[in-house]
Structure 1
Amino acid sequence: MSYVAVALGGFLGACARYWLTEQLGTVHGFPVATLLINLAGSFVLAWFYTFTLERMPIHPHVRIGFGTGFIGAFTTFSTLNVELWSLWRNGLWLAFAAYLVASYLGGLACAGLGYGLAMRQSRLRTVPDGKDVTS
């Protein structure tokens, strides 16, 4: 059953990536769409896994369907590297360096932010009257 969850999530993630790429595209040859997709994916995946492990346990098929399937298909390491190669090949050194640094350091920063947000949210607890309070 987990294969079905990954396949469904992958289908939806790939469709979402294609749609966003069509909407955002590039700006003066700079691959804005892929950069934003990969940064968002880094943030969401780190937040999702941390939050669902710390605060809101969910069924493993949902976790793998969304994490491995949707986010795995939504983000793309191969496109990132093809676009980096294209910038390099065309002599766009500044754009190459900016994209490389923004993608890798930005991805790490977004993953850290996602993790931090989920950990902050996981410290909230629900009291009997249904209000959230900090621990």
Structure 2
Amino acid sequence: MRKYLAVLIFGALGGICRSLISQILVLPNQFPLGTLLVNLSGCFLFSLVVHYLALAFPLSPTIISGLSVGFVGAFTTFSGLSVDALKLIAHQQYSLFILYDLTSIIGGIILALLGIMISKQLFKRWEQW
């Protein structure tokens, strides 16, 4: 039950942060910069939370679930990516559509991998300290 409560609370915070960033970062050419940055940073944050915080600090599985599934899960948005991609198509901005989707997918994978690599380095330092 605690785990679900943590996911609920952290999820609410993640959703609020995503909403604020998406509203602030709107470009005049309809390019969904806010959603892109939220999703890319979420890929990086998720791998950091799961691979570094869970190993380096004695956080409970409840807190780890709250941070990863709750906060980062609600912070990022695949449905937002899909709707924004459709808006670009509707406005006949095909090159932006391709740029947005490729950047989202490839950039997300690269940033998740980067998060794991940085986590491993941070954990090595943590163990030596």
Q: What is the TM-score normalised by the length of structure 2? A: 0.93
Q: What is the Cα deviation at residue 18 of structure 1?
A: 1.0
Higher strand share: 1
Q: Which residue of 2 aligns with 1:41?
A: 42
Post-superposition Cα deviations, 1:73-132, rounded to whole Å, max 9, x if no partner, equal 1100001001111112221110000001100000001101111100011111456xxxx3
Q: Which residue of 1 aligns with 2:109?
A: 108
Q: What is the Cα deviation at residue 20 of structure 1?
A: 1.0
Aligned residues between the structures? 128
Contact 2:54 2:64 in 1 (8 A): no
- The alignment status of 1:61 with 2:56, answered yes or no, reads no
Matches within 5 A, 1:71-82: 71-82=72-83
In structure 1, how many angstroms separate the alpha carbons of the residues matched to 2:28 and 2:56?
39
Identity %: 31
Contact 1:11 1:70 in 2 (8 A): yes
Amino acid at match of 1:68: V
Q: Which moved more, 1:70-79 or 1:45-54?
A: 45-54
Q: Which moved more, 1:84-93 or 1:41-50?
A: 84-93
In structure 2, how many angstroms separate the alpha carbons of the residues matched to 1:86 and 1:68?
28
What 5-or-longer segments of structure 2 have no aligned partner?
none
Q: What is the Cα deviation at residue 56 of structure 1?
A: 2.4
In structure 1, how many angstroms separate the alpha carbons of the residues matched to 2:80 and 2:26?
13
Contact 1:54 1:119 in 2 (8 A): no
Q: Which residue of 2 aligns with 1:25?
A: 26
Residues 95 and 117 of structure 1, relative CA distance in 2, 3 Å threshold: same
> Runs of at least 4 residues of structure 1 off by over 4 A?
none
Amino acid at match of 2:15: A
What 5-or-longer segments of structure 1 have no aligned partner?
none
Contact 2:26 2:32 in 1 (8 A): yes
Amino acid at match of 1:119: K
Contact 1:10 1:71 in 2 (8 A): yes
Q: What is the Cα deviation at residue 40 of structure 1?
A: 0.4
Amino acid at match of 1:48: V
Q: CA RMSD in A?
A: 1.4
Q: State the structure with more CA Rg.
A: 1
Contact 2:22 2:35 in 1 (8 A): yes
